[in-house]
Amino acid sequence: MDGLTLTQRINKVTYKNLRIGFLWSSKISLMILSLMLVTLWLNHFTNDSELSSLLAAQFIWQMILSGFGIIYFNRSTEPANYRLISAFYSLIYGLSWGATILILGVYVQFTLLSEVLANLMTMVALLGFYTYRNALYLAVTPILALSTWITIEDEHLTLLFSFEKFMITLIIIESGRRVLYRWFSNRVQQEHENKRLVKELNQLASHDQLTQIKNRRFFQIELEKQIKNTQRLHIPLSLVLIDIDHFKAFNDSQGHIAGDECLKLVAKVIDASLLRGIDSVSRFGGEEFVVLLPNTNLDGAILVAQRIQENLTKVAIDHPASQTSHIVTISQGITTYEESQRSTQFIEKADHNLYDAKKSGRNCYIAA
């Protein structure tokens, strides 16, 4: 999972949907304007040359704006102030289409065409900008206001009709926006929940439930991956196998609950002793832990083992039943990967060194 909260995810997907909406509405606008420009060129709007020039200038200006929108919003990078940019572009979109509708409805006196165009571009704005309410209303308000003013000026229509049309259109836009946004929000929440569940499943699959460090399954997968990297890049790879000394005696004397706490504390100490993000510690089984050290030679692995031992000594977990010390101690077997070794042979070498460390009196490490 990417670590985003639900609010952050909604914001991220909001911009993604807005970007797609702006691209789509810009392309639709460019297509409609191109058709209208061709129609103007064929003299299907007006024979007045000045009016034709005004319309042509308006269409070309809008086509430039739409082209800019296509170029700008084709970028996938989210700008820090995307809401401000979205609001500004939406306002320009609404004003430019409002001006076109006004010219067609008042000067050319194509009232029906201006009405159809107003409804069409309002629906385009709704479908494209519904994820951000401010952007939607900055786009539709100029279009609605100017198209309503055109109907008010129409002597065949009453003021009441114009007002009712304006209010009904607003109700349709807002109810449509809410339906679309509810669908959008539910989809994002479902995606967020799915990612959270995947993260939890991955956590369960790769982490030891008691100590909360990585488990043996993770270690086996990571070991094979690091061996391949070592073979391909010709870099060292080291392994430290760790066993808590006299842990059975600790469990017998202190109880299993104390034993579990001891395992968790030792795991925490080992994990804190690893200073690089590429290093990992896993619970190998019982009271055994394994540390995997990519790009680390034998000397570097010894330094890590010494650090673990020193940090555990500082914590000083009481162990009255130990035959080695009055506190919990560990034995460590250290080895470095040799060319053409299988993963099982690599682990066996570390295990052999761990066995020698125990034979040598415990509370020490053997590296070879």
Query: What is the pLDDT, as a whole number, of residue 340?
Result: 86
Model confidence, pTM = 0.61
Burial 37-65 (b: 16+ CB within 10 A, else e): beebeeeebbeeeeebeebeebbeebbeb
Q: Which of the residues are catalytic?
A: 287
Helix/strand/coil for 210: coil
Query: What is the pLDDT, as a whole number, of residue 165?
Result: 86
Please state, in angstroms and rounded to a whole number, the distance separating the CA atoms of residues 353 and 366: 5
Q: How many residues make up the chain in this entry?
A: 368
Please state, in angstroms and rounded to a whole number, the distance separating the CA atoms of residues 91 and 37: 23
Query: What is the pLDDT, as a whole number, of residue 43?
Result: 64
Query: What is the pLDDT, as a whole number, of residue 110?
Result: 78
Query: 83, 34 in Cβ contact below 8 A?
Result: no
Query: What is the pLDDT, as a whole number, of residue 107?
Result: 76
- Residue 316 phi, psi dihedral angles, 5° rounding: 55, 70
10-residue stretch averages of pLDDT, the chain, 368 residues long: 74 88 92 82 65 80 87 81 90 93 82 88 94 95 91 77 88 95 91 86 88 96 96 96 97 95 98 97 96 98 98 97 96 96 96 97 96
Q: What is the 3-state secondary structure (H, E, C) of 97-166?
A: HHHHHHHHHHHCCCHHHHHHHHHHHHHHHHHHHCCCHHHHHHHHHHHHHHHHHHHHHCCCCCHHHHHHHH
Query: 73, 93 in Cβ contact below 8 A?
Result: no
CB atoms within 10 A of CB 326: 11
Amino acid type, 334: I
Q: What is the 3-state secondary structure (H, E, C) of 316-364?
A: CCECCCCCCCCECCEEEEEEECCCCCCHHHHHHHHHHHHHHHHHCCCCC
Query: What is the pLDDT, as a whole number, of residue 2?
Result: 61
